[in-house]
Structure 1
Amino acid sequence: MANKLNSLAHTKWLCKYHIVFTPKYRRKIIYNQYRRDLQGILRLLCQYKGVKILEGHMMPDHVHLLVSIPPKISVSSFMGYLKGKSSLMIFDKHANLKYKFGNRHFWAEGYYVSTVVLNESTIRKYIRDQEMNDQAQDRLSVKEYEDPFRGR
């Protein structure tokens, strides 16, 4: 376990968090060009704060992150920073989004966070498999919208 610990001047620490947050109104906005830009922006902002992204995935309507946050930064202050700065940066990069989101509110209020210690591998697998599960659910739900009288 010693090789997994991080250190600051006088502390050894192992603080990992599973975080999920969504765009405002859970709009399915995290697609092609926005997805790539958001990934770069989130990586850059985490790097500025000394936060390591251990695992992450962008779904069409939410973001999963497994991060290691130093104990000198609280999770709430980090999330305020991450969501605030990333929304400003995405609106600067894509000016057309301000018409959909107005007042530079890209992310919805709040987020989900849980601590991770012993079940890290389970959470990593969950984050990786989340998209496949959602796609399977979408394939099942498409049948509802097909017209049974067309023969397709």
Structure 2
Amino acid sequence: MSRFKKSSHVILFCQYPIVFVPKYRYRVLKGDIGKFVYQSIYAHTERSGCEIIELNVQPDHVHLLVKVPPKISISDLVGKVKGKTAIQAFQKFPNLRTKKYWGNHFWSAGYCVDTVRHLDSDETNLRPFPNFLRMKSAHKLSADRFLDN
């Protein structure tokens, strides 16, 4: 089975590790709240058309490794997941509103995102396009040599 996902006009492998934290990095993501946040993040991410590879909810932060199709922006995904999870968490756990969350914000404003690159054991499969460009530029250089005369 290929790691690539196929669509009508694209073959892709887009994985992103995302980390985000509760407001002031309070350690509130434990017990029932942590379980609820895990289920909520999983549900909203899957509904967005993304595939969760890993999800780890720690008391003061969340690690999410997700495959995202190119039509969905990472900022839209994170905004939707954080927003809907916060609304549902405040509804299910009203005692969270008594915490010192300024403006009743559950999550901190930012997040961290990176990219994942899959490494093959065969070096020729690692960078076929840069190899093509290198060969093309070498061919162009040799062609330019004839034009200089």
Decide: shared fold, TM above 0.5.
Answer: yes
Aligned residue for 2:104, secondary structure, equals coil
Conservation of the 8 A alpha-carbon contact between 2:38 and 2:55:
no
Q: Is the 8 A contact 1:22 1:111 kept in 2?
A: yes
TM score, norm. by length of structure 1: 0.73
| Deviates most, 101-110 or 14-23 | 101-110
Q: In structure 2, the residue corresponding to 1:107 is in which secondary structure? A: coil
- For residues 92-111 of structure 1, the aligned pairs below 5 Å read 92-100=91-99, 101=101, 103-111=103-111
Tell me, yes or no, if the aligned pair for 2:25 and 2:108 is still in contact at 8 Å. Answer: yes
> Amino acid of the residue matched to residue 9 of structure 1?
S
Listed as ranges, the matches of 1:82-93 within 5 Å are 82-93=81-92
Q: How far, CA to CA, are the matches of 1:104 and 1:54 in structure 2?
A: 30
CA contact (8 A) 1:30 1:59 kept: yes
- What is the identity, as a one-letter code, of the residue corresponding to 1:60? P
Q: How many residues align?
A: 118
Distance in 2 between the 1:60 and 1:95 partners?
Answer: 18
2:117 equivalent to 1:117: yes
Q: Note the C-alpha offset of 1:103.
A: 3.3
Q: Mark the runs of 5 or more structure 1 residues left unpaired by the alignment.
A: 120-152
Residue 117 of structure 1: SS of its match in structure 2?
coil
Counterparts of 1:19 and 1:70 in 2: how far apart (Å)?
15
Provide the identity percentage: 37
Residue 9 of structure 1: CA displacement?
2.5
- Residue 24 of structure 1 is matched in structure 2 by 23
Separation in 2, partners of 1:24, 1:9: 41
Where does 1:2-151 land on structure 2 (aligned, <5 Å)? 3-100=2-99, 101=101, 103-118=103-118
Cα distance in 1, alignment partners of residues 102 and 54 from structure 2: 31
Runs of 5+ in structure 2 lacking a partner? 120-149
Provide the secondary structure at the position in 2 that maps to 1:116.
coil
- One-letter amino acid matched to 2:118: L
One-letter code aligned to 1:104: N
Larger mean CA deviation between 100-109 and 37-46 belongs to 100-109
Q: Is the 1:37–1:90 contact (alpha carbons within 8 Å) kept by the matching residues of 2?
A: yes
Q: Which runs of structure 1 show a deviation greater than 2 angstroms over 4 or more consecutive aligned residues?
A: 101-104
Q: TM-score, normalised by structure 2?
A: 0.75
Query: Could you say which residue in structure 2 is the equivalent of 1:125?
Result: none
Deviation at 1:7, TM superposition (A): 2.1
